[in-house]
Amino acid sequence: MCGIWALFGSDECLSVQCLSAMKIAHRGPDAFRFENVNGFTNCCFGFHRLAVVDQLYGMQPIRVKKFPYLWLCYNGEIYNFKQLQKQFGFEYQTLVDGEVILHLYNRGGIEQTASMLDGVFAFILLDTANRKVFLARDTYGVRPLFKVLTDDGFLGVCSEAKGLANLKHSTSLCSKVEPFLPGHYEVLDLKPSGKVASVELVKFHSYKDEPLHVACDTVETLPSGFDLETVKSNIRILFENAVRKRLMAHRRIGCLLSGGLDSSLVAAVLLKLMKEININYPLQTFAIGMENSPDLLAARKVAAHIGSEHHEVIFNSEEGIQAIEEVIFSLETYDITTVRASIGMYLVSKYIRKKTDSVVIFSGEGSDELTQGYIYFHKAPSPEEAAEESERLLKELYLFDVLRADRTTAAHGLELRVPFLDHRFTSYYLSLPAELRIPKNGIEKYLLRQSFEGSNLLPKEILWRPKEAFSDGIASVKKSWFSILQDYIDQQVDDLLLEKAVEKYPFNTPKTKESYYYRQIFEKHYSGQSNWLPHYWMPKWVKATDPSARTLKHYKSATQE
């Protein structure tokens, strides 16, 4: 996890512009470099480093003797860089996994490069010999990337929008900062003036398609067919493989543990594999919640079962409320459920950074979208519509859960790893018949739970624990976190302000005092950028006025039984 930043064709003094790069310093607390591009005095790269792999030669932009005309600034992890080296005979100059991007590009161009990378990444690749700039981002947008491109060809690129929002250009502020689309690469021509012109934006991978890099995966061809035993076995094999490949790190590995199915499976498989490869330190797991919250109690059970070194972070409502503004600033969004869920994750990340030496943090993001884990999936009219909704959620992950997970951990210099979003695992799961993937017997994620039954990885009551939204599970059953927030905000926002909300905020107009409060804070830091959030996250097929799972009838009936 690092922070990348680059400008091409700046009209303003670069020493002034580079102050914007310092706004993402939290993403790379270990080192910083600012470098001009030879022959283009108005082009430069900025890089904040979190040293996870090759601590000696890992500074960026990466340049190697073999390709003196290539400049690479990237944020991510490429898990198959050794397999690609073996397959194509690449001679690496460093131990940095991202160096493979330069070799792949030299061998087969940008299309093959993006398609063959098994990992999470956002990168800026400059080819001065052919005067090209390339931008690319991984399939699910696990690593963030934003850009601004003006009509006269000034380009700014950054890991977070805050590093571009106040750039100066032609005496005016650059305003059209946009997220770069996941699963795409863009080709831009670099003019002698340092300005650029976009040539094409290409989607290089659809999450339903088996990725091209399967050809050099460590797992061989899986048995075909959809009989249940084969499917369950394949799910176990691919999930374990997804966790195994993510063990690549020279810094201590830890794991977030809410006590729900997803994080518990990740923690259990992670600890099992760490033992197998003789990692000589205990796995630290981290849970957060208010006193006696459901998540704390469940996480305690899991930690005792798997034998991790468990840490509990207990916070009160005042600490959570005090964190709201800094959380919204970090997130760059005002989405209701994202803000709610981010507060706990932000506070636990803060604890990890201050109190432990764990830096590479595993988490369970992506499972709910992939395996139909949200409670409203019980109301899906048909398996086919449930499958479509699952795909829509995956497509928008970069706006919601993946955004939350990246920003809350990156704010404290941690690197997130999310095995549920492994390319091969997700493409296989999405290839299964729609009726296999739906909730069954009133239980969501039924197929995933079934696949690990009998493995003794988890206690049975955790394997079959009903879905609890992270923002709800950290509070008590009697009073949920969203109720605590709403009670506080009710005193902060006047009724009249809400009545006139449509005049002040015509786009994504706040409908509640809570959403109005978040929007106010967002506009304070990112005025006029409300389009970064196309729409609020809300459940489907139910008449919901709030995104919390606890407001849905299915949840209420389940907890009252």
Distance CA 172, CA 151 (A): 13
Q: What is the DSSP letter of 440?
A: B
Instruction: Tell me whether residue 44 is one of the annotated catalytic residues.
Output: no
Other Cβ atoms within 10 Å of 211 Cβ, number = 21
Residue pair 416/355 in contact (Cβ under 8 Å)? The answer is no
Residue labelled with tokens 């006590």: 259
AA letter at 54 = D
Task: Read off φ and ψ for residue 459, nearest 5 degrees.
Answer: -60, 145
Per-residue burial over 456-475, b if 16 or more Cβ lie within 10 Å, else e, is ebbbeebbebbbbbbbbbbb
* Lateral strand order in the sheet of 146-149: 31-37, 40-49, 3-8, 155-158, 146-149, 178-179
Give the strand pairing for 178-179 and 146-149. Answer: antiparallel
Q: Which of 91, 168, 178 is nearest to 135 (CA)?
A: 178
**Residues 6 or more apart whose Cβ sits within 8 Å of residue 275:** none
Q: What is the DSSP letter of 159?
A: S
**Residues 6 or more apart whose Cβ sits within 8 Å of residue 557:** none
- Degrees (nearest 5) of the Cα angle 144, 146, 150? 170
Q: Which of 221, 264, 217, 267 is nearest to 245 (CA)?
A: 217
Residue labelled with tokens 């340092």: 194
Please pick, among 2, 44, 73, 174, the residue that the annotation labels catalytic: 2
Is residue 110 a known part of a binding site?
Answer: no
AA letter at 547 = P
Query: What count of residues does the chain have?
Result: 561
Residue labelled with tokens 């989607």: 203
Give the strand pairing for 67-78 and 184-190. Answer: unpaired
Token couple for 130:
């052919």
Residue labelled with tokens 């729409």: 535
Is residue 487 a known part of a binding site?
Answer: no
Is residue 528 a known part of a binding site?
Answer: no
Is residue 364 a known part of a binding site?
Answer: yes
Is residue 293 a known part of a binding site?
Answer: no
Annotation: binding site for L-glutamine: 97
Annotation: binding site for ATP: 256, 288, 363-364
Active-site amino acid positions: 2
